[in-house]
Amino acid sequence: MAEEANSYLVIRVKGSVKAKGEHLDTLRMLNLRRANWATIVPKTPSYEGMLKNVEHMITWGEPNLKTIKTFLKKVEIMGDGRLDNECARKLGFESLDDLARKLYTAEITLSSLKEKGIKPYVRLHPPRGGFKKTIKKHVSAGGEYGYRGKKINELFTKMAGV
């Protein structure tokens, strides 16, 4: 695969207690209103600035294509049901794999699919077996929040129950 990820998988790990209003506003713009919600955002300077602003409440990294496909299978459609190949075709994509590839390369965003009835986030369980470290420290200091690169795929797998 010659393409590289042009998007981030973002997971909120902390709740709203004692959070500043500006941080809650940023999380709302990222479509992360509650703890254990995940979304995919493109790698742009504006999104990276938003991620840095609420770094102490989220963790993020570059997802692989398999993780994005699993993410899309968990996405809910407004009304009821989950996203599948048939729904992807109705949205104008060849298949769920095609949609995953376009999200991976940031040709399309989840926010743009919101207008078509797709929720721009996924609700996850807390990680199976719990977080291995504390959510009160940065990843580089032995904690769970902040930028974690490719290791986001492992955390998502534990939280998605795959």
pLDDT tens-digit readout, 52-90: 999 999 999 999 999 999 999 999 888 778 888 888 898
Give residue limits of the domains in the chain.
1-162
pLDDT tens-digit readout, 106-147: 999 998 888 888 999 999 999 988 988 899 999 999 999 999
Domain 1-162 has CATH 3.40.1190.20: no
The reported pLDDT for the residue numbered 4 is: 76
pLDDT tens-digit readout, 18-52: 999 999 999 999 999 999 999 999 999 999 999 99
Contact status, residue 139 vs residue 26, Cβ threshold 8 Å: no
Do the strands 58-61 and 143-147 form a parallel or antiparallel pair, or are they unpaired? parallel
